[in-house]
Every structure is written in C-alpha cells, then in structure tokens.
Structure 1
C-alpha cells in the first residue's frame, strides 16, 4: 500500500525510460473506492506551460527500479487525448471516450 500523498509528484516514464511527466493527483471514485485516474502533468519548462491530463489508472505500472510509473502512452497521445473541461469528472460521456481512447476497460466494469 501507498499513501496518495506519496503518489503525487511521482515521475512517469515511457517503456524505454523517457520521462513523460509526473502525477499531480489522483481521482478516486467515491462510490466504488477505485482509483479512476491519475492526473498527469506534462510538458512545459520549470512548471510553466505544462499541461495536465487525466490518465486511466490502469495505464500506469509502478517500476521499483525507476522509482516511478511506466506507461505505454506516448507524448502525442497525451496531447491528442479527448478534451476535458472543469467538470470532466462528472461527465460519464467523457469517461467513456477517455477509456476508449486509451484502450483500457473502464474502471466501473
């Protein structure tokens, strides 16, 4: 087990070890208690111009050697992901599009 506080700020890498970004925070389904998304911060320089995007939790695997998460999501996929609004977490259609886009089964199934 790990505290969500320890996940925030954890680096995210590609399978080849390229740095993609870091976890900003987690989104947990209140009813099921499952982690639905890790909101990932990526791009920018010294925190300026960085983007954030919710990534399905199932797309991340912790690598003890790297001390961070590994994902097969590319930088291009992050920047081309379904657009989200300030209320994306309450939008079931966004959740369906997002999980379809990343090719993983939804957390609610």
Structure 2
C-alpha cells in the first residue's frame, strides 16, 4: 500500500519533525517488514485501549494469497517502528516466530480481551513490555 509519510520522524535525539499523527485507516493495510527488510504481512486493524486511547496492538495478516488462507497475529504495538525508507513498519519479529505465534481469532467466542493473563502470555511470547501498569 503506498502511503505518504504522515508520521513523526526523529532527525536528532529528542527532536521530532513531520506530522506526529496518522489516521487509523492509513495504518490499516500498511506493510510490516522483518529486521532484514523482508515483507512479513500487513496491518489489518488496530486494538485501542478504551480508557487511555492508546494503541495496544496491531493485528497483522500473514501468509495466504489474495486474502485467502491468511492468519492473523496480534502484535504489541511497541514491537513496531515506522520506517520511512520502507514506507511501512519494521519489527524484530521473524517469520519463524510468526508461524509459532498464538493466532488471533476474531470470530471465536473464547478470545476474551478482558483476560489479562492471556494478554500477559501474548506480551511474554513477543518479549514486549505490558502496555498497562503492573
């Protein structure tokens, strides 16, 4: 997905340039790349914490062809960094880690986002800090 750079950039430590905000529909569909710059998948939706308004997760689609047979994985937002040279998000997550990751089941009744233990397991799998106070 081609997209103009509407995110903030840091040109020097602590100095932000560019636009600091982006519309959610511009994030959806944006490519995600591994540490070597290989395409892993794309952002399907964002999960936003209701009270704070902070993005907690990106749900990433992975694999499949033309939207068929693809898996969805919930990635802590802290694992993604926008890379202006790629026009997408870079992550330290590998394809191998995605293949073994817990899948996101939007249509299953047993995926309970109010279950903090399941969120802990997700963050622990990705080795990401929790977005909530401990």
TM bracket, shorter-chain basis: over 0.9
User: Which residue in 2 is equivalent to 1:53?
Assistant: 73
Structure 1: runs of 5+ lacking an equivalent: none
Matched, 1:19 2:43: no
Q: Which one of the candidate residues 85, 92, 95 is aligned to 1:65?
A: 85
Structure 2: runs of 5+ lacking an equivalent: 1-20
Distance 1:81 1:15 in 2: 17
Helix, strand or coil for the counterpart of 1:106? coil
Higher mean C-alpha deviation, range 10-19 or range 81-90: 81-90
TM-score (norm: length of structure 2): 0.76
> How many residue pairs were aligned?
109
CA deviation after TM superposition for structure 1 residue 82, in Å: 2.8
TM-score (norm: length of structure 1): 0.93
Residues 83 and 25 (structure 1 numbering): CA distance in 2 closer, same or farther, change over 3 Å?
Answer: closer
Greater helix percent: which structure? 1
RMSD: 1.3
Larger Rg: 2
Higher relative contact order (CA closer than 8 Å, sequence separation 6+): 1
Matched, 1:105 2:125: no
